[in-house]
């Protein structure tokens, strides 16, 4: 059985590295790559070197992305230019892949409004935006040439696989299940980290709850080997999924414990994440807001809005 080759991409982020998984072509099937790493100079150099070292013919590469975040899809445009790579992704990833840079002003305006309503001080919002704007150039807008749908059969080099759309981390996050019993999980399932649904605007409401349903739904892949978007392969087990779901539930309980009086999401961040480092504060707020929205939906929390500020209270 041909084994996929891992190309390790350095990241200037807390995760440190991202994976691109290469499936060499055979006969008429072109080589395929799942994820393309981050579009920094170092990121693209590592990817190019990895393709070169593998000895595959990268021309006409079939590129599949697990989702459109910059550390997974950042090099898609360059791969298209240099190797004529054909980009496969679900339409739901379009805001990250096709219009991410073009829509950045609108995105920051929507984030600013939402963060203000959740009590984040303006100087903190400015810092979050600055960090975001440092990351934006690591992606280049690129058209999705081959849209993927849920359940689609596809070819990863000599290996056949099925795409399963598993929304939550992003609306079109996809896992690829191969005939060799591998599951390319992107950020939908990592071994040691619970993924973030980046839910902060009202438009994104429900993404965190959706992510929990996706996590539970991954049980149908128990027994497979996960080839994740970051770090080493691991086994998909019920125990791992239970553990991730239990961590989320514990966070919700911690939030409820601190809602004996009205609090903003921003006030809850240090209670839920006491060890959060400064540059992760945006993700921290998103995680808390996702939990609050889910708790509100379940009738366990009440939201009050006054003067444009939102507070939450245990029901
Ligand atoms: Zn991601």
Q: Provide the residue-wise pLDDT of the chain in tens; the chain has 315 residues.
A: 678 999 999 999 989 999 999 999 988 889 999 999 999 999 999 999 999 999 999 999 999 999 999 999 999 999 999 999 999 999 999 999 999 999 999 999 999 999 999 999 999 999 999 999 999 999 999 999 999 999 999 999 999 999 999 999 999 999 999 999 999 999 999 999 988 999 999 999 999 999 999 999 999 999 999 999 999 999 999 999 999 999 999 999 999 999 999 999 999 999 999 888 777 899 999 999 999 999 999 999 999 999 999 999 999
Report how far apart, in Å, the C-alpha atoms of 142 and of each of 25, 99, 297 are: 24, 8, 36
Please report the pLDDT score of residue 205 as a whole number.
Answer: 96
Closest CA to 212 of 262, 246, 165: 246
Distance 15 CA to ligand 1 centre (A): 11
At 302, phi and psi to the nearest 5? -110, 140
pLDDT of residue 28: 83
The pLDDT score that the predictor gives to residue 27 is 84
Q: What pLDDT, on a 0 to 100 scale, did the predictor assign at position 277?
A: 75
**How many whole angstroms from 69 Cα to the centroid of ligand 1?**
5
Between the CA of 165 and the centroid of ligand 1 the distance, in Å, is: 14
Distance from residue 313's CA to the centre of ligand 1 (Å)? 31
Q: If you measure from the C-alpha of residue 225 to the centroid of ligand 1, how many angstroms do you get, rounded to a whole number?
A: 20
- Give residue 216 CA to ligand 1 midpoint distance, Å: 19
Q: How far is the CA of 187 from the centre of ligand 1 (A)?
A: 5
Contact present, 119 and 194 (Cβ < 8 Å): no
User: How confident is the model at residue 276, as a pLDDT?
Assistant: 83
Q: Which residues of 157-173 are buried (b: 16+ CB within 10 A; e: fewer)?
A: bbbebebbbbbbbbbbb
Single pTM value for the model? 0.96
Query: What is the 115 CA–ligand 1 centroid distance (Å)?
Result: 20
Q: What is the pLDDT of residue 275?
A: 86
The pLDDT of residue 1 is 63
Interval between CA 261 and ligand 1 midpoint (Å): 34
How many A from CA of 191 to the centre of ligand 1? 14
The helix/strand/coil state of 55 is coil
Residue 111 alpha carbon to ligand 1 centre in Å: 18
What tokens were used for 278? 């400064």
Token pair of 314 as six digits:
């245990």
DSSP-derived secondary structure for 70-114: HHHHTTHHHHHHHH-PEEEE-GGGHHHHTSTTTTHHHHHHHHHHH
Residue 9 vs residues 24, 43, 102, 237, 267: alpha-carbon distances, Å: 18, 5, 25, 27, 36
CB 197 within 8 A of CB 290: yes
Residue 266 Cα to ligand 1 midpoint, Å, equals: 22
Distance (angstroms) between ligand 1 centre and the Cα of 139 equals 13
pLDDT of 257: 96
pLDDT of residue 37: 98
Ligand 1 centre to CA of 169 (Å) is 7
Q: What pLDDT, on a 0 to 100 scale, did the predictor assign at position 72?
A: 98
Burial of 99 (0-12, 13-18, 19+ CB in 10 A): middle
Residue 84 CA to ligand 1 centre (angstroms): 25
């Amino acid at each position: 059985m041909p084994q996929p080759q891992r190309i390790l991409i350095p990241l200037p982020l807390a995760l440190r590295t991202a994976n691109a998984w290469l499936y060499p072509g055979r006969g008429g099937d072109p080589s395929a790559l799942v994820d393309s790493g981050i579009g920094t100079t170092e990121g693209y150099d590592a990817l190019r070197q990895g393709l070169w070292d593998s000895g595959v013919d990268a021309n006409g590469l079939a590129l599949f992305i697990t989702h459109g975040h910059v550390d997974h899809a950042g090099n898609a445009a360059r791969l298209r230019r240099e190797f004529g790579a054909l980009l496969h992704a679900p339409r739901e990833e379009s805001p990250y892949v096709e219009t991410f840079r073009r829509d950045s002003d609108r995105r920051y305006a929507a984030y600013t409004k939402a963060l203000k309503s959740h009590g984040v001080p303006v100087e903190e919002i400015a810092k979050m935006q600055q960090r975001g704007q440092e990351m934006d150039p690591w992606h280049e807008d690129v058209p999705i040439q081959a849209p993927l749908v849920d359940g689609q059969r596809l070819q990863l080099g000599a290996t056949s696989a099925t795409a399963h759309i598993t929304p939550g981390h992003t609306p079109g996050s996809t896992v690829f299940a191969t005939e060799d019993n591998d599951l390319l999980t992107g950020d939908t399932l990592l071994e040691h980290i619970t993924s973030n649904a980046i839910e902060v605007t009202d438009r994104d409401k429900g993404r965190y709850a959706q992510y929990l349903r996706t996590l539970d739904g991954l049980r149908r892949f128990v027994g497979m080997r996960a080839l994740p978007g970051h770090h080493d392969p691991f086994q998909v087990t019920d125990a791992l999924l239970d553990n991730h779901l239990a961590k989320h539930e514990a966070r919700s309980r911690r939030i409820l414990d601190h809602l004996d009086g009205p609090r903003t999401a921003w006030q809850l961040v240090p209670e839920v994440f006491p060890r959060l480092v400064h540059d992760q504060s945006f993700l921290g707020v998103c995680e808390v807001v996702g939990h609050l929205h889910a708790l509100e939906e379940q009738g366990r929390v009440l939201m009050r809005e006054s003067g444009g500020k939102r507070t939450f209270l245990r029901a």
